[in-house]
Structure 1
C-alpha cells in the first residue's frame, strides 16, 4: 500500500472513536424530535454537554474536532441548495431593504451592547449574526471563522441555546402578534420570515396561519440566509485584519471555502442544475452535518463553564430579538 494511502487510512481510523458519539447523539436527537416534538439541534446540544468528559480522552478528541469544524462547514455550505435568486426577486425592494437594515443594525447593536455588558465585541457580533440571520446555523457559520479560543467556543454554545429557545418561543407568540397587528397573509409572512431566527420555526409559524403566509415567510427567511455570505465574509475580514496586528489568534481566510460553496449552490439551484430530488438530498445531508457538528460542540463544552457566563448573554439576545420585531413592525404598519 502506498505511504500516502496508508497515512490517510490511519488518519481516518483515528477519527472514528470521536466521530461515533456525535453520530449516535444525532440519531437520538432526531428520534426525540420526530416522535415527541421540539428542536433537534437543542436536543443534540444538550446530549453533547452530558458527554463532555469524553473530550478529555485523547482517542476521542480528533474525531470530535473533525465534527465540530469540518462537518460544520460542509453543513453550512449545503444550505445554499435551498435558495434561488428568483425566490429572492419575488419579494420586491421593501422587504429586502428592511431585512438588510435589520441584519446590519442588529449586528451593530449586538457589538455595542455586548461591550456595555462586559461580554466583548466578538460575542456581540456572534449573537447579532445568529439572531438577525438564521439562528443556530448562522452562529455555527460565524464560529467557523472566529478566532479559536475557549471563551469563543463557550459563547458559541450559549448562543445556540439562546437563539434556539427564543426561536421556539417566537414560533408560538409571533403568529398571535401578527393577528394583533392585523396583518394580511402576505404581511404576516414578511413579519414571521423577517423576525424568527431558525428556518424550521419560520415554517411552523407560517403554516399556523395559512399556506400563503408560510410560503412568503420561507422566502423572506431564505433571503436572510443569503445575507450570511456577506456577513461572514466581512467578519472573517475583520478578524483577519485584527490578527494581523497581533490582537487575536490565528488568521482566518478572507473568504472561507465553505462560503464559496454556499454561493455556488445558490447559483446552481437558480440555473436549474440542482434537481428537486438532489435538492432534497443535499438539504438532508446539510441537516445531518449541522446536527452532528452541534453535538460535537456540546461535547467540547463544559456545562459548568456555560453557567458561569450568567444572565447578560440572554439579555443581549432578547434585546436583539425585540429590535428585529420593532423594525419589521414599523415597516409593515407605517411604510408598507
Structure 2
C-alpha cells in the first residue's frame, strides 16, 4: 500500500503516525518522539493530500461523502447550490473541484465547519472566495482568526486569509432549510476542541459528527484548544441520543459511512479507557507509568493500528482525568 493512499483513505490527520513507525516502535512512542513525528507530518499530510484521489460515497437524499482530503467531507446537492460540511485541505483543490463538479454544476453556496483543525478547514479560502457562506461555532472563528498553537503537535498554525474565515457564527444552535433538507447545527460544548458542532440533515437522517467520532481508530483530543476526554464522551452520548438504528453517521476520520452501533462501540471504548487511566492516575501513577501499564491493551488490536498509537492516546486521556 502506498503511503499517500494509506494517509488519505484511512483518514489520517496531523497527529498520526505512519504504519512503519508504529511497527518499528511497537506502537509506543515517547512524548518527544511523538511530538517530532507529529510536527513533521503536517507537511507530510499536505503532500499526501496534494496527490490523493477523492473517493465518493453516495448516500441518500442527494448527500455524498468525499474522502481523501483530510477529514470526511459531506456534500448536499440541489437547486440551492452545493452545501458542504468541512472543506478538507487546500492542496486538494483540483481533485475536490472535480469531485464537486461530478455531483452538480451548481456552485458551493454554503460551507459548514465542524471545528477549526486544518484538515477540515484549510480549504475554506478557495471555497469562500467563490462566494460560499461559511458557517461555524464562534470558537472556531476565534481559532481560525489568530496564530493557534497545538502543543501535542508542537506546531503553530497561521490565521486563515479573510476569504476563508467564517462570517456567520453561532453559540448554541443554528438551522437552515436548503435543497429540501432541514440542516440543524448544534454545539456540543468542549469535546475534541472547544468549537465542535454536529450537522444533522433531518429528512435524510444523516448526521455528520466531525472529530467527536473516529471510526475504528483512537481519536486525537486537542487540549490546547479546549478539548478533553470527558467532553468526547459527552459528545458521543449526545450523538447516540440524536441518532437511531436508521441514521447514517459520518465520522470525522475512519470509515466514512457509519451507524449507531459502531458509534456505541466507540463510546464504550472511550469510557472504559478513561476509567482505567483515571484509576491509575488516582493511585499516584505518573503519566509515563500509566502509559507503561498499557491500560488500552484490550482495545489496541482494533483501535490502535493507524492514527493515534496506544501510548499517545493514553497520554491524552491521562491529561483529562
TM-score by length of 2: 0.30
Q: Which has the higher strand share?
A: 2
TM-score by length of 1: 0.29
Q: Which has the higher helix share?
A: 1
Largest Rg, 1 or 2 = 1
